[in-house]
Structure formats: structure tokens, C-alpha cells
Amino acid sequence: MKKTIQTRHLVFLSLCVCGGMIAKRVVTPVLNPLTDLIRLPGGGAAAAFSLLFIVLGCTVTDWPFAATLAALVQGALAFCLGMTGYQGMFTLLTYTVPGIATDIVRRFTPNGSEIYFFLSCCLGNTLCAVVSNLLVFHLRSLSLLLWLLVAACFGGLAGMMGHLVYGRLKKAGVL
């Protein structure tokens, strides 16, 4: 059976895209002292909370490639609004890769489950850190390993928070 795209799903997905951009701007100043203390780029931790909203929007809409679309739009908006950080032109790529990872995880895990949220955010955030390192930062050995570990931990934390938000929205009858 073919799924139809409903206006309310598009509105919710666009709100999640904007919510992710706002979350990143709010969380970054809080996490930067922590990442500065251990001499790592702060985006590896803050990007997880942006990704949380993309995973939430993808879960609610339940379309194929919804996360890739949302991540692509979020990357384009970040680029147009000048929220590129050190990545510059690579912003579109570093925002889109986690969306692709989320869509891949979605194919192999039940939609809306804890494992789906955890793996999507964890894998997406870690891949975002890998791509950022390859294109911009060029960290080596121990510092790269530590940065990937921080990205994975914050991704997992954001995934668990996303699952809690999803459960609360579902329980309240919003979804």
C-alpha cells in the first residue's frame, strides 16, 4: 500500500528541522566549555541534539528517506543562515550524512523503538564527526578516537532523550 504525504506530516517535519537548528544553537554554548577542556571540536557533541529532532520527525512521518530530506533541508538552511562553523561549503554534506545513516538504521530496526532512536543518533553523530574530521579537522590517533567516543556518547544520550520525548508525545495523544 502506498503511503500518502499529509500536510500535517510536512509541517511537523519542518518544525523538527527548525527545532534541531535551535537546539544546536542553545546546546553549543553549554557544551563548548566541556569540549574546550579536552581540546576537541564542540560540534561533535552539539550535533547530536540537532540530530535528535531529525530522528523524531522521521519517526512520526514514517516515510522512506524522510530523515535524508530533513537533514538536507537543515543543512541548506544552516548554510544559507551562515551557521556553518568551520565547515563552510561542506556543511551540506556534514548535515546530510547523519540523515542517510538514520534512514539506513530505520530499515533494520522497528520505527519508534528505543534501539532505533539510540542507534540512529549514535551512528549518525559518529559519522558526522568522521566526515567533519576527514574534510576539516584532520585529528589523529588518540584525539580522533576521543572525539568519536564523545560523539557516540552524546549521540546515544540524545537518542534516549528523543525516545522519551516520542513516548511522551504519543502518551499525550499528540501523535
Residues 4-43 have pLDDT tens digits of 778 888 888 889 999 988 988 888 888 888 888 888 777 7
The answer on pLDDT for 1 being more than 50 is: no
The answer on pLDDT for 160 being more than 90 is: yes
Task: Please choose, from the candidates 51, 50, 49, 31, the residue with its C-alpha nearest in 3D space to the C-alpha of residue 41.
Answer: 31
Residue 163's SS3 state is helix
Residues 46-101 have pLDDT tens digits of 888 889 999 999 888 888 888 999 999 998 988 888 877 777 788 889 889 999 99
Q: Are 85 and 43 in contact (CB under 8 A)?
A: yes
| pTM reported for the whole predicted model | 0.87
